[in-house]
A = this chain, B = another copy of it.
Amino acid sequence: MFHDVRMRGFKERADVAEVQAWIDALAIATRTTSVGLDASHGRVLAEDLVSAVDVPSFARSAMDGWAVCSDDTLGASDTDPVLVKVIGTTLPGRPHEGEVHGGQAVRIMTGAPLPRGADAVLRAEDGEQREDELQVRATVPRGRHVGERGEDVKAGTPLLRAGRRLRPQDVGLASSVGCAQLTVHAQPVIEVIVTGDELLPAGSQPEGANITDANAPMLRALIARDGGRVETVAMLPDSEAVLRAALEESAADVVILTGGSSVGEEDHAPRLLHELGTLSFHGVAMRPAAPTGMGTIDERAVFLLPGNPVSCLSAYDFFAGRLVRRMAGRSPEWPYRSQHGRLTRKIASVLGRVDYVRVAVDGDAITPIMTRGASILSSTTESDGFVVVERDSEGHPEGTEVTAYLYDL
């Protein structure tokens, strides 16, 4: 049964953990896509990358110097050099084609293929060449400074596993095995709907009874950070008909709507979501962001975030972002670094409610910012991060060791 909260208030609020469990259990489309190497950094592999080739496909020198027969160098030293004859040069990409026999050597550069017959490399520092005569001044055992075929990668080896978020060196490795395209998780497509007759679009000068929207540009940045792609940002009036059409017609994977989710007369979104699909939650036991709601319309997840920008940020990070990250193939957990420290002031909370407390972090000292309210976005730009007070806690006295999550990535 639908409980219309408008002008009445919430009957009961869901637990944060319960809502997160619902998000984690949502059946999501696991779309994959193929991207070129240059677009692959930071994306998440959707299948194992297995090399089809040996890298390198030949034995090569690990140093600049001379390719030699190791037996020739036995006993050679600075004071007792051995003489051999240099019969050619092998360069990277330009191999010496002949064979090397005892008493012979070939100049070799790092990365060059070892000529047939040679089995070790004498470093440049350990020899001196005059004309075609080389003084060998060190003993090199068989295989010294030689990288065998496949020493970096052997054909058939799984190099990177599905689920891996690609690092710069992963991209380099994929290139080295001849892989030009990688199969990665597709970016979930997000539609952002901003409602509120008082709102002017981002970039406008605020004036009169109007304020300029902060949520759409903030959500755009959050969603991009989490691996999603914002396809459309719609700014809609507080009209039930307009909002209904937008929710029905969206082609996005996830709709994130801000404003119009609470108990006000113009808050149509929860009832519309109930009518068009399922309103799974409305009202969460947290502060700020208590009026958050969510559900599904067909295969589409719909998040109703409060219009107050601090609540919007908090509700995005707790809920919507969790799904975006998961659909992008990433860990659903916060992307924030965490840091331990001690509270310089107590935090008061209420049993049964999760609190999102903005804090200043200075070394080991964690100081709650006097919050002033969920509409004060500057409270999140003045703070370094946040501390979460769990539902089973009434808060923490001064001096408690807590974990702060840092906004600065």
* Chain A interface residues toward B at CB < 8 A: 7-9, 36-38, 41-42, 53, 55-58, 60, 62, 64, 89, 91-95, 107, 109-113, 123-125, 129, 147, 151-153, 159-160, 165, 167-180, 196-199, 202-222, 224-225, 238, 262-267, 307-309, 313, 337, 372-378, 380-381, 407-409
A312 to B, closest residue via Cβ? B172
Given A53-B206, A152-B377, A178-B204: 5 more A-B contacts, CB < 8 Å: A55-B211, A112-B198, A112-B209, A171-B217, A176-B212
A171 near B221 with CB under 8 A, answer: yes
Give A62 Cβ to nearest chain B Cβ, in Å. 6
B375 near A172 with CB under 8 A, answer: no
Cα distance A42–B335 when bound, in Å? 14
Q: Which of B91, B94, B217 contacts A38 (CB 8 A)?
A: B217
B407 near A173 with CB under 8 A, answer: no
Cα distance A196–B204 when bound, in Å? 53
Give A54 Cβ to nearest chain B Cβ, in Å. 9
Cα distance A308–B55 when bound, in Å? 13
A107 to B, closest residue via Cβ? B265
B56 near A211 with CB under 8 A, answer: yes
A57 near B207 with CB under 8 A, answer: yes
Known: A153-B378, A211-B56, A307-B111. A178 touches B206 (CB 8 A): yes
Residues of B within 8 A of A175 (CB): 202-203, 212-214, 216-218
A372 to B, closest residue via Cβ? B151
